[in-house]
Amino acid sequence: MVAALTGEILSNPEPAVFPIASEYQLCDRFHVSRVTVRLALGDLENRGLIFRKHGKGTFAHGRLTRVHRNIGVLMKSPQAAEHRPVAEIVRGVQTVMTPLRSAVVLIGLAPEEWRPEMASGLSGVLVFPQDVTLKDLTVLQDRKLPYILAMKSSLPGPQIRLGQITAARTMTEQLLALGHRRIALLSGFEVGLDAPKRAGVHEALHAAGINPSDIPEFSAHDQEGGIFQAARELLHSRPRPTAVIAFDDSLGSMVSFQARRYENLQVPSDLSIVSFHDWPYLNYIEPALTTVRFEFFTAGQRAAEALDHAATTGEPASEVVLEPTYRPGQTLAPPPSDL
């Protein structure tokens, strides 16, 4: 009954408020009791599809009057907001909600600490999984709040899938196909974004019969000085790598700069570099990085649409799946022939 009424209301082309059948008519149509009808109408009202006027009847919201509640962004680690991919995802959510006259609410508190009025004002929650627990998600489920995990996680539930594992595996396979075996990783951009790339690299190494523990990983802190130091340590390691897999373009560009400026290395003839994210502000660096674009902004938009749809229809939130885009650059070549 609820599904049938939901479908009829959402498919109705009427832009303004329109009346729906009375409780008596619904009882007769669906062959159910008045208690069942009232419970169903209460569910529709909670989802913002209908409202009731005493003495006048029950009315449904049309396309232009429908109420869209806010979307919460659960981010228990405040520093995550400093990373551009996270900001792009949130910006994507905002562009969907603003025309619907709704807001994006950034939340750092565990769900069990939310006031009832805050929870009731949300249509769903986009969850950045760092420091989020299974208990947090259970509270969201108990409150019937649909949620989507903003990045790959071992936590249960629908996720945004950007193809990072596949992209990292593909980039590693390119290096291996060119003959590179002295490969180093440069990580430390953001824990949640680094993990799937590391998993993809390890998949490719295992398939090639290489133990991932034999591949050194250098981790940068999220400050310019930390990135500089990590790149320096990588270039001074022995035997020096012939290829670097940098988990963000900012890391890749720093390795490229130091290799050419301080180590007298040629990129890519002495050192190949592949990286991720294809940030526009690094597109003019020479040599151009071989990198991969992930659609963070679009992912935020799709997640907002999925959460709003789930809240309106009562259906489970769907996963957001996007394909990466590979951008050939000038930093990929076979290893030096004299090795």
> Would you list the domain boundaries of the chain?
2-60, 70-161+297-323, 164-293
Predicted pLDDT at 284: 79
Listed range (75-89, 200-214, 225-239, 324-338) with the worst mean pLDDT:
75-89
Residue with more model confidence, 101 or 265: 265
Q: How much is the pTM?
A: 0.84
Topology adopted by domain 2-60: Arc Repressor Mutant, subunit A (1.10.10)
Predicted pLDDT at 339: 60
Beta-sheet pairing, 160-161 with 183-187: unpaired
The answer to whether residue 223 scores a pLDDT higher than 70 is: no
Name the percent of the chain lying above pLDDT 90. Answer: 64
The answer to whether residue 109 scores a pLDDT higher than 80 is: yes
Predicted pLDDT at 222: 59
Predicted pLDDT at 78: 76
The answer to whether residue 112 scores a pLDDT higher than 90 is: yes
Q: What is the pLDDT of residues 14-48, one digit of tens each?
A: 888 778 888 888 888 888 888 888 888 887 787 77
Same fold, 70-161+297-323 and 164-293: yes
CA torsion 88-92-94-100 (nearest 10°) is 180
Predicted pLDDT at 38: 87
Listed range (69-78, 209-218, 297-306) with the worst mean pLDDT:
69-78
SS3 readout for the chain: CHHHHHHHHHHCCCCCCEECCCHHHHHHHHCCCHHHHHHHHHHHHHCCCEEEECCCEEEECCCCCCCCCEEEEEECCHHHHHCHHHHHHHHHHHHHHHHHCCCEEEECCCHHHCCHHHHHCEEEEEEECCCCCHHHHHHHHHCCCCEEECCCCCCCCCEEECCHHHHHHHHHHHHHHHCCCCEEEEECCCHHHHHHHHHHHHHHHHHCCCCHHHCCEEECCCCHHHHHHHHHHHHHCCCCCCEEEECCHHHHHHHHHHHHHCCCCCCCCCCEEECCCCCHHHCCCCCCCEEEECCHHHHHHHHHHHHHHHHHHCCCCCCEECCCEEECCCCCCCCCCCC
**CATH class name, domain 70-161+297-323:** alpha beta
Question: Residue range 236-252: average pLDDT?
Answer: 95
Topology adopted by domain 164-293: Rossmann fold (3.40.50)
